[in-house]
Structure 1
Protein backbone atom coordinates (compact mmCIF):
# COMPACT_ATOMS: atom_id res chain seq x y z
CA UNK A 1 0.00 0.00 0.00
CA UNK A 2 1.38 3.42 -0.93
CA UNK A 3 1.55 6.22 1.62
CA UNK A 4 -1.35 8.01 -0.12
CA UNK A 5 -3.71 5.02 0.15
CA UNK A 6 -6.00 4.59 3.12
CA UNK A 7 -6.48 1.16 4.66
CA UNK A 8 -9.85 -0.46 4.06
CA UNK A 9 -11.99 0.11 7.18
CA UNK A 10 -12.06 -2.98 9.34
CA UNK A 11 -15.86 -2.97 9.41
CA UNK A 12 -15.82 -3.16 5.62
CA UNK A 13 -13.28 -5.98 5.69
CA UNK A 14 -15.47 -7.97 8.08
CA UNK A 15 -18.65 -7.37 6.07
CA UNK A 16 -17.04 -8.29 2.76
CA UNK A 17 -15.13 -11.33 3.98
CA UNK A 18 -18.17 -12.84 5.72
CA UNK A 19 -20.74 -12.04 3.03
CA UNK A 20 -21.04 -15.64 1.83
CA UNK A 21 -21.62 -17.05 5.32
CA UNK A 22 -23.96 -14.17 6.14
CA UNK A 23 -26.07 -14.77 3.05
CA UNK A 24 -26.25 -18.51 3.74
CA UNK A 25 -27.60 -17.89 7.24
CA UNK A 26 -30.08 -15.23 6.12
CA UNK A 27 -31.49 -17.40 3.34
CA UNK A 28 -31.93 -20.57 5.39
CA UNK A 29 -35.18 -22.42 4.76
CA UNK A 30 -36.24 -21.93 8.37
CA UNK A 31 -35.95 -18.15 8.16
CA UNK A 32 -37.56 -18.06 4.73
CA UNK A 33 -40.54 -20.02 6.02
CA UNK A 34 -40.75 -17.99 9.23
CA UNK A 35 -40.65 -14.63 7.44
CA UNK A 36 -43.02 -15.91 4.80
CA UNK A 37 -45.67 -16.72 7.37
CA UNK A 38 -45.56 -20.45 6.72
CA UNK A 39 -44.72 -21.40 10.30
CA UNK A 40 -46.78 -21.01 13.44
CA UNK A 41 -46.00 -18.81 16.39
CA UNK A 42 -44.51 -21.84 18.17
CA UNK A 43 -41.58 -21.76 15.72
CA UNK A 44 -41.02 -18.08 16.50
CA UNK A 45 -41.16 -18.88 20.21
CA UNK A 46 -38.61 -21.67 19.71
CA UNK A 47 -36.28 -19.26 17.90
CA UNK A 48 -36.62 -16.81 20.77
CA UNK A 49 -35.87 -19.54 23.28
CA UNK A 50 -32.74 -20.66 21.48
CA UNK A 51 -31.55 -17.08 21.19
CA UNK A 52 -31.93 -16.72 24.95
CA UNK A 53 -29.14 -19.26 25.45
CA UNK A 54 -27.00 -17.43 22.90
CA UNK A 55 -27.44 -13.99 24.43
CA UNK A 56 -27.04 -15.24 27.97
CA UNK A 57 -23.62 -16.52 26.91
CA UNK A 58 -22.78 -13.39 24.92
CA UNK A 59 -23.75 -11.00 27.68
CA UNK A 60 -22.77 -13.02 30.73
CA UNK A 61 -19.27 -11.56 30.88
CA UNK A 62 -19.89 -8.32 29.03
CA UNK A 63 -19.41 -6.23 32.17
CA UNK A 64 -16.06 -7.90 32.84
CA UNK A 65 -14.95 -7.08 29.29
CA UNK A 66 -16.04 -3.45 29.42
CA UNK A 67 -12.53 -2.34 30.33
CA UNK A 68 -10.82 -4.41 27.66
CA UNK A 69 -9.06 -2.21 25.07
CA UNK A 70 -10.33 -4.32 22.14
CA UNK A 71 -13.88 -5.35 23.00
CA UNK A 72 -14.63 -2.77 25.68
CA UNK A 73 -15.44 0.24 23.47
CA UNK A 74 -18.21 -1.75 21.74
CA UNK A 75 -19.91 -2.96 24.91
CA UNK A 76 -22.96 -0.85 25.70
CA UNK A 77 -25.82 -1.61 28.12
CA UNK A 78 -28.22 -0.17 25.52
CA UNK A 79 -27.54 -3.22 23.36
CA UNK A 80 -28.17 -5.92 25.96
CA UNK A 81 -30.96 -8.29 24.87
CA UNK A 82 -31.30 -10.96 27.55
CA UNK A 83 -33.89 -9.17 29.67
CA UNK A 84 -36.00 -8.31 26.61
CA UNK A 85 -35.87 -11.93 25.48
CA UNK A 86 -37.05 -13.07 28.89
CA UNK A 87 -40.04 -10.73 28.71
CA UNK A 88 -40.84 -12.02 25.22
CA UNK A 89 -40.61 -15.64 26.36
CA UNK A 90 -42.88 -15.00 29.33
CA UNK A 91 -45.41 -13.54 26.90
CA UNK A 92 -45.01 -16.34 24.36
CA UNK A 93 -44.75 -19.35 26.67
CA UNK A 94 -46.08 -18.22 30.02
CA UNK A 95 -44.42 -17.65 33.40
CA UNK A 96 -42.94 -21.15 33.52
CA UNK A 97 -41.09 -20.78 30.22
CA UNK A 98 -37.67 -21.69 31.64
CA UNK A 99 -38.77 -25.18 32.66
CA UNK A 100 -39.51 -26.29 29.12
CA UNK A 101 -36.53 -24.69 27.40
CA UNK A 102 -33.63 -26.87 26.25
CA UNK A 103 -30.78 -25.78 23.96
CA UNK A 104 -30.55 -27.53 20.63
CA UNK A 105 -27.13 -29.07 19.83
CA UNK A 106 -26.27 -26.15 17.57
CA UNK A 107 -27.31 -23.68 20.26
CA UNK A 108 -25.21 -25.40 22.89
CA UNK A 109 -22.15 -25.32 20.62
CA UNK A 110 -22.75 -21.66 19.79
CA UNK A 111 -23.11 -20.67 23.44
CA UNK A 112 -20.03 -22.66 24.43
CA UNK A 113 -17.98 -20.83 21.81
CA UNK A 114 -19.17 -17.46 23.08
CA UNK A 115 -18.31 -18.34 26.66
CA UNK A 116 -14.87 -19.54 25.59
CA UNK A 117 -14.16 -16.33 23.71
CA UNK A 118 -15.40 -14.11 26.52
CA UNK A 119 -12.94 -15.86 28.82
CA UNK A 120 -9.96 -16.19 26.50
CA UNK A 121 -9.98 -13.95 23.42
CA UNK A 122 -11.58 -10.48 23.31
CA UNK A 123 -10.89 -10.16 19.59
CA UNK A 124 -12.97 -13.23 18.86
CA UNK A 125 -15.68 -11.98 21.21
CA UNK A 126 -15.71 -8.72 19.24
CA UNK A 127 -16.42 -10.67 16.03
CA UNK A 128 -19.54 -12.23 17.55
CA UNK A 129 -20.62 -8.97 19.17
CA UNK A 130 -20.55 -7.35 15.73
CA UNK A 131 -22.44 -10.11 13.94
CA UNK A 132 -25.18 -10.30 16.55
CA UNK A 133 -25.94 -6.71 17.48
CA UNK A 134 -25.55 -5.05 14.09
CA UNK A 135 -27.69 -7.87 12.73
CA UNK A 136 -30.37 -7.18 15.34
CA UNK A 137 -30.34 -3.47 14.55
CA UNK A 138 -30.60 -4.16 10.82
CA UNK A 139 -32.12 -7.41 9.56
CA UNK A 140 -33.65 -8.10 12.95
CA UNK A 141 -36.14 -5.34 12.24
CA UNK A 142 -37.45 -7.36 9.29
CA UNK A 143 -38.13 -10.25 11.66
CA UNK A 144 -39.91 -7.91 14.08
CA UNK A 145 -42.16 -6.54 11.35
CA UNK A 146 -42.97 -10.02 10.06
CA UNK A 147 -43.82 -11.25 13.57
CA UNK A 148 -46.12 -8.30 14.17
CA UNK A 149 -47.95 -8.86 10.89
CA UNK A 150 -48.11 -12.65 11.07
CA UNK A 151 -49.06 -13.22 14.71
CA UNK A 152 -50.62 -9.91 15.63
CA UNK A 153 -48.15 -8.73 18.24
CA UNK A 154 -48.58 -5.14 19.30
CA UNK A 155 -46.13 -2.95 17.41
CA UNK A 156 -42.84 -2.95 19.30
CA UNK A 157 -44.62 -4.61 22.23
CA UNK A 158 -44.67 -7.88 24.13
CA UNK A 159 -43.42 -10.75 22.00
CA UNK A 160 -41.05 -8.65 19.88
CA UNK A 161 -39.21 -6.64 22.55
CA UNK A 162 -35.99 -8.44 21.68
CA UNK A 163 -35.89 -6.49 18.42
CA UNK A 164 -36.76 -3.14 20.02
CA UNK A 165 -33.75 -1.10 21.11
CA UNK A 166 -35.58 1.42 23.25
CA UNK A 167 -32.33 3.06 24.40
CA UNK A 168 -31.00 3.55 20.87
CA UNK A 169 -32.62 6.79 19.74
CA UNK A 170 -31.16 6.84 16.24
CA UNK A 171 -30.27 3.35 14.96
CA UNK A 172 -28.64 4.62 11.76
CA UNK A 173 -26.34 6.96 13.68
CA UNK A 174 -25.64 4.29 16.28
CA UNK A 175 -24.61 1.76 13.65
CA UNK A 176 -22.34 4.32 12.04
CA UNK A 177 -20.64 5.07 15.35
CA UNK A 178 -20.39 1.33 16.09
CA UNK A 179 -18.57 0.75 12.80
CA UNK A 180 -16.20 3.60 13.60
CA UNK A 181 -15.32 1.92 16.90
CA UNK A 182 -14.88 -1.37 15.06
CA UNK A 183 -12.56 0.33 12.58
CA UNK A 184 -10.51 1.75 15.46
CA UNK A 185 -10.23 -1.70 17.02
CA UNK A 186 -8.97 -3.07 13.70
CA UNK A 187 -6.30 -0.39 13.48
CA UNK A 188 -5.02 -1.43 16.91
CA UNK A 189 -4.53 -5.04 15.75
CA UNK A 190 -1.68 -6.47 13.75
CA UNK A 191 -2.40 -8.23 10.47
CA UNK A 192 -2.38 -11.71 11.98
CA UNK A 193 -4.94 -10.72 14.60
CA UNK A 194 -7.16 -9.01 12.03
CA UNK A 195 -7.18 -12.19 9.95
CA UNK A 196 -8.08 -14.27 12.99
CA UNK A 197 -10.98 -11.94 13.80
CA UNK A 198 -12.19 -12.13 10.20
CA UNK A 199 -12.22 -15.92 10.38
CA UNK A 200 -14.12 -15.79 13.68
CA UNK A 201 -16.65 -13.45 12.11
CA UNK A 202 -17.24 -16.00 9.37
CA UNK A 203 -17.54 -18.69 12.01
CA UNK A 204 -20.14 -16.61 13.86
CA UNK A 205 -22.41 -16.51 10.81
CA UNK A 206 -21.84 -20.22 10.24
CA UNK A 207 -22.83 -21.03 13.82
CA UNK A 208 -25.96 -18.97 13.35
CA UNK A 209 -26.73 -20.83 10.13
CA UNK A 210 -26.32 -24.21 11.82
CA UNK A 211 -28.74 -23.06 14.51
CA UNK A 212 -31.29 -22.19 11.82
CA UNK A 213 -30.73 -25.61 10.24
CA UNK A 214 -31.41 -27.30 13.59
CA UNK A 215 -34.58 -25.27 13.95
CA UNK A 216 -35.55 -26.13 10.39
CA UNK A 217 -35.33 -29.83 11.17
CA UNK A 218 -37.89 -29.31 13.93
CA UNK A 219 -40.27 -27.39 11.70
CA UNK A 220 -39.97 -29.00 8.25
CA UNK A 221 -42.19 -27.99 5.37
CA UNK A 222 -42.67 -29.88 2.15
CA UNK A 223 -41.42 -28.09 -0.94
Structure 2
Protein backbone atom coordinates (compact mmCIF):
# COMPACT_ATOMS: atom_id res chain seq x y z
CA UNK A 1 0.00 0.00 0.00
CA UNK A 2 1.17 3.59 -0.53
CA UNK A 3 3.59 4.87 2.02
CA UNK A 4 4.72 8.16 3.54
CA UNK A 5 1.67 10.00 2.18
CA UNK A 6 -1.13 11.94 3.82
CA UNK A 7 -4.80 11.41 3.11
CA UNK A 8 -7.56 13.85 2.25
CA UNK A 9 -11.23 13.61 1.45
CA UNK A 10 -11.98 13.00 -2.19
CA UNK A 11 -15.71 13.65 -2.47
CA UNK A 12 -17.72 11.42 -4.77
CA UNK A 13 -14.60 10.02 -6.37
CA UNK A 14 -13.61 8.48 -3.06
CA UNK A 15 -10.58 9.14 -0.91
CA UNK A 16 -7.25 10.34 -2.26
CA UNK A 17 -3.66 10.12 -1.12
CA UNK A 18 -1.32 13.06 -1.45
CA UNK A 19 1.91 14.49 -0.11
CA UNK A 20 1.54 16.77 2.86
CA UNK A 21 4.71 16.90 4.89
CA UNK A 22 5.31 19.78 7.27
CA UNK A 23 8.28 21.87 6.20
CA UNK A 24 11.26 21.86 8.54
CA UNK A 25 13.67 24.76 8.17
CA UNK A 26 16.41 22.69 9.80
CA UNK A 27 16.34 19.95 7.17
CA UNK A 28 19.15 19.81 4.62
CA UNK A 29 18.78 18.40 1.08
CA UNK A 30 21.45 15.84 2.03
CA UNK A 31 19.51 14.59 5.07
CA UNK A 32 18.23 11.04 4.72
CA UNK A 33 14.59 12.06 5.17
CA UNK A 34 14.84 14.50 2.25
CA UNK A 35 16.74 12.04 0.07
CA UNK A 36 14.05 9.43 0.71
CA UNK A 37 11.21 11.87 0.07
CA UNK A 38 12.68 13.04 -3.23
CA UNK A 39 14.14 9.70 -4.26
CA UNK A 40 10.91 7.72 -3.86
CA UNK A 41 8.42 10.15 -5.42
CA UNK A 42 8.07 8.12 -8.61
CA UNK A 43 7.54 4.96 -6.58
CA UNK A 44 4.87 6.77 -4.54
CA UNK A 45 3.07 7.77 -7.71
CA UNK A 46 3.17 4.24 -9.14
CA UNK A 47 2.02 2.71 -5.86
CA UNK A 48 -1.01 4.95 -5.48
CA UNK A 49 -2.03 4.26 -9.07
CA UNK A 50 -2.15 0.48 -8.83
CA UNK A 51 -5.61 -0.92 -9.53
CA UNK A 52 -5.83 -2.35 -6.02
CA UNK A 53 -5.26 1.04 -4.39
CA UNK A 54 -7.51 2.95 -6.79
CA UNK A 55 -10.35 0.49 -6.18
CA UNK A 56 -9.69 0.54 -2.45
CA UNK A 57 -9.88 4.33 -2.22
CA UNK A 58 -13.21 4.30 -4.07
CA UNK A 59 -14.61 1.79 -1.60
CA UNK A 60 -14.58 -1.03 -4.15
CA UNK A 61 -12.66 -3.42 -1.95
CA UNK A 62 -14.02 -6.94 -1.54
CA UNK A 63 -13.78 -8.58 1.85
CA UNK A 64 -11.95 -11.65 0.56
CA UNK A 65 -9.30 -9.49 -1.08
CA UNK A 66 -8.94 -7.37 2.05
CA UNK A 67 -8.45 -10.54 4.08
CA UNK A 68 -5.69 -11.69 1.73
CA UNK A 69 -4.01 -8.28 2.01
CA UNK A 70 -4.13 -8.64 5.79
CA UNK A 71 -2.46 -12.05 5.49
CA UNK A 72 0.31 -10.54 3.36
CA UNK A 73 0.81 -7.76 5.89
CA UNK A 74 1.05 -10.31 8.70
CA UNK A 75 3.91 -12.18 7.04
CA UNK A 76 5.62 -8.93 6.03
CA UNK A 77 5.50 -7.34 9.47
CA UNK A 78 6.43 -10.58 11.22
CA UNK A 79 9.64 -10.60 9.20
CA UNK A 80 10.27 -6.88 9.55
CA UNK A 81 9.77 -6.82 13.30
CA UNK A 82 11.85 -9.95 13.81
CA UNK A 83 14.76 -8.23 12.06
CA UNK A 84 14.14 -4.97 13.91
CA UNK A 85 14.31 -6.88 17.19
CA UNK A 86 17.52 -8.51 16.01
CA UNK A 87 19.05 -5.08 15.33
CA UNK A 88 17.59 -3.22 18.29
CA UNK A 89 21.10 -2.46 19.63
CA UNK A 90 22.79 -1.98 16.27
CA UNK A 91 23.78 1.72 15.95
CA UNK A 92 22.75 1.75 12.28
CA UNK A 93 19.14 1.06 13.32
CA UNK A 94 18.72 1.40 17.10
CA UNK A 95 17.51 5.05 17.09
CA UNK A 96 14.53 3.97 14.96
CA UNK A 97 13.49 1.11 17.22
CA UNK A 98 10.02 1.98 18.56
CA UNK A 99 8.36 -1.38 19.32
CA UNK A 100 5.69 0.00 21.66
CA UNK A 101 4.65 2.74 19.29
CA UNK A 102 4.98 1.04 15.92
CA UNK A 103 5.02 -2.76 15.92
CA UNK A 104 2.05 -4.18 14.01
CA UNK A 105 2.31 -7.95 14.31
CA UNK A 106 0.13 -8.22 17.42
CA UNK A 107 -2.53 -6.00 15.84
CA UNK A 108 -2.48 -8.11 12.68
CA UNK A 109 -2.96 -11.28 14.72
CA UNK A 110 -6.15 -9.72 16.15
CA UNK A 111 -7.35 -8.87 12.66
CA UNK A 112 -6.67 -12.40 11.43
CA UNK A 113 -8.54 -13.82 14.41
CA UNK A 114 -11.50 -11.62 13.51
CA UNK A 115 -11.52 -12.64 9.84
CA UNK A 116 -10.49 -16.31 10.09
CA UNK A 117 -11.29 -17.39 13.65
CA UNK A 118 -9.08 -18.71 16.44
CA UNK A 119 -7.53 -21.30 14.12
CA UNK A 120 -6.44 -18.59 11.66
CA UNK A 121 -2.89 -19.94 11.59
CA UNK A 122 -4.12 -23.12 9.90
CA UNK A 123 -6.08 -21.21 7.25
CA UNK A 124 -3.51 -18.79 5.86
CA UNK A 125 -0.43 -19.16 3.70
CA UNK A 126 2.26 -16.84 2.43
CA UNK A 127 1.93 -16.01 -1.27
CA UNK A 128 4.94 -16.30 -3.57
CA UNK A 129 5.19 -12.51 -3.99
CA UNK A 130 4.99 -11.95 -0.25
CA UNK A 131 7.64 -14.62 0.34
CA UNK A 132 10.06 -12.75 -1.95
CA UNK A 133 9.46 -9.61 0.13
CA UNK A 134 9.92 -11.53 3.38
CA UNK A 135 13.14 -13.13 2.13
CA UNK A 136 14.58 -9.75 1.22
CA UNK A 137 13.74 -8.31 4.65
CA UNK A 138 15.48 -11.23 6.37
CA UNK A 139 18.52 -10.87 4.12
CA UNK A 140 18.78 -7.17 4.89
CA UNK A 141 18.30 -7.62 8.62
CA UNK A 142 20.98 -10.29 8.83
CA UNK A 143 23.53 -9.09 6.27
CA UNK A 144 22.92 -5.39 5.49
CA UNK A 145 21.17 -3.99 8.59
CA UNK A 146 21.73 -0.39 7.54
CA UNK A 147 19.19 -1.02 4.76
CA UNK A 148 16.54 -2.03 7.30
CA UNK A 149 15.90 1.70 7.68
CA UNK A 150 14.42 1.72 4.16
CA UNK A 151 11.89 -1.00 4.91
CA UNK A 152 10.85 0.49 8.25
CA UNK A 153 10.47 3.95 6.70
CA UNK A 154 8.45 2.69 3.74
CA UNK A 155 6.00 0.74 5.86
CA UNK A 156 5.53 2.61 9.13
CA UNK A 157 5.51 6.17 7.80
CA UNK A 158 2.87 5.09 5.32
CA UNK A 159 0.84 3.41 8.04
CA UNK A 160 0.81 6.64 10.03
CA UNK A 161 -0.16 8.66 6.96
CA UNK A 162 -2.17 7.28 4.06
CA UNK A 163 -2.94 4.16 6.05
CA UNK A 164 -5.33 6.18 8.18
CA UNK A 165 -7.36 7.01 5.07
CA UNK A 166 -7.47 3.33 4.11
CA UNK A 167 -8.71 2.51 7.61
CA UNK A 168 -11.77 4.72 7.18
CA UNK A 169 -12.49 3.41 3.70
CA UNK A 170 -12.21 -0.24 4.78
CA UNK A 171 -14.44 0.26 7.80
CA UNK A 172 -17.14 1.87 5.67
CA UNK A 173 -16.88 -0.32 2.57
CA UNK A 174 -16.69 -3.64 4.43
CA UNK A 175 -19.22 -2.59 7.08
CA UNK A 176 -16.79 -3.44 9.86
CA UNK A 177 -17.72 -2.81 13.51
CA UNK A 178 -17.25 0.69 14.93
CA UNK A 179 -15.14 -0.98 17.62
CA UNK A 180 -12.47 -1.45 14.90
CA UNK A 181 -12.34 -5.23 14.68
CA UNK A 182 -10.61 -6.19 11.47
CA UNK A 183 -8.69 -2.91 11.20
CA UNK A 184 -6.53 -3.03 14.33
CA UNK A 185 -3.54 -2.87 11.99
CA UNK A 186 -4.31 0.79 11.32
CA UNK A 187 -4.81 1.70 14.99
CA UNK A 188 -1.78 3.15 16.79
CA UNK A 189 -2.88 3.42 20.42
CA UNK A 190 0.56 4.50 21.60
CA UNK A 191 1.04 7.34 19.11
CA UNK A 192 -0.85 10.40 20.33
CA UNK A 193 0.08 12.58 17.33
CA UNK A 194 1.01 10.93 14.05
CA UNK A 195 2.44 14.16 12.65
CA UNK A 196 4.69 14.78 15.66
CA UNK A 197 5.84 11.17 15.71
CA UNK A 198 6.74 11.28 12.02
CA UNK A 199 8.77 14.42 12.66
CA UNK A 200 10.60 12.65 15.49
CA UNK A 201 11.21 9.61 13.28
CA UNK A 202 12.62 11.72 10.47
CA UNK A 203 14.87 13.58 12.92
CA UNK A 204 16.18 10.24 14.21
CA UNK A 205 16.84 9.10 10.64
CA UNK A 206 18.74 12.27 9.87
CA UNK A 207 20.90 11.83 12.97
CA UNK A 208 22.14 8.38 11.87
CA UNK A 209 25.87 8.37 11.12
CA UNK A 210 25.71 7.39 7.45
CA UNK A 211 27.94 8.27 4.52
CA UNK A 212 26.65 9.40 1.12
CA UNK A 213 26.93 5.95 -0.44
CA UNK A 214 24.95 4.30 2.35
CA UNK A 215 22.21 6.92 2.07
CA UNK A 216 21.96 6.26 -1.66
CA UNK A 217 21.70 2.52 -1.01
CA UNK A 218 18.92 3.14 1.51
CA UNK A 219 16.97 5.20 -1.04
CA UNK A 220 17.34 2.43 -3.63
CA UNK A 221 16.23 -0.15 -1.05
CA UNK A 222 13.16 1.97 -0.28
CA UNK A 223 12.28 1.95 -3.97
CA UNK A 224 12.77 -1.81 -3.93
CA UNK A 225 10.39 -2.03 -0.96
CA UNK A 226 7.77 -0.16 -2.97
CA UNK A 227 8.23 -2.62 -5.82
CA UNK A 228 7.77 -5.54 -3.45
CA UNK A 229 4.58 -3.97 -2.10
CA UNK A 230 3.16 -3.46 -5.58
CA UNK A 231 3.99 -7.04 -6.56
CA UNK A 232 2.24 -8.33 -3.46
CA UNK A 233 -0.91 -6.33 -4.21
CA UNK A 234 -0.96 -7.40 -7.85
Determine if the TM-score, normalized by the shorter chain, exceeds 0.5.
Answer: yes
The 5-angstrom pairing of residues 97-136 of structure 1 reads: 97-136=120-159
TM-score, normalisation: structure 1: 0.88
Does the Cα contact within 8 Å between 1:91 and 1:158 map onto a contact in 2?
A: yes
Deviates more, 1:103-112 or 1:60-69: 60-69
> Which position in structure 2 is the counterpart of 1:89?
112
CA-to-partner distance for each residue in 1:61-84, whole Å, 9 max, x for gaps? 322211111111101111000000
Extract unaligned runs of 5+ from structure 2.
Answer: 1-26
Deviation of the 1:118 alpha carbon: 0.9
- 4+ residue runs over 6 A deviation: none
Residues 129-178 of structure 1: CA distance to partner in whole angstroms, max 9, x if unpaired? 00000010001111101011112223462111000000111111100000
Structural mapping, 1:177-188, within 5 Å = 177-185=200-208, 188=209
List gaps (5 residues or longer) in structure 1: 214-223
Structure 2: how far apart are the matches of 1:63 and 1:21?
27
Q: SS at the partner of 2:54?
A: helix
Question: Does the Cα contact within 8 Å between 2:116 and 2:123 map onto a contact in 1?
Answer: no
**Aligned length in residues:** 207
C-alpha root-mean-square deviation of aligned residues, in Å? Answer: 1.5
Normalised by the size of structure 2, how large is the TM-score?
0.84
Match of 2:191 in 1: 168
Equivalent pair of 2:140/2:148 in contact (CA under 8 Å)? yes
Matches within 5 A, 1:137-216: 137-155=160-178, 157-185=180-208, 188-213=209-234
More helix by percentage: 1
1:23 Cα shift? 1.7
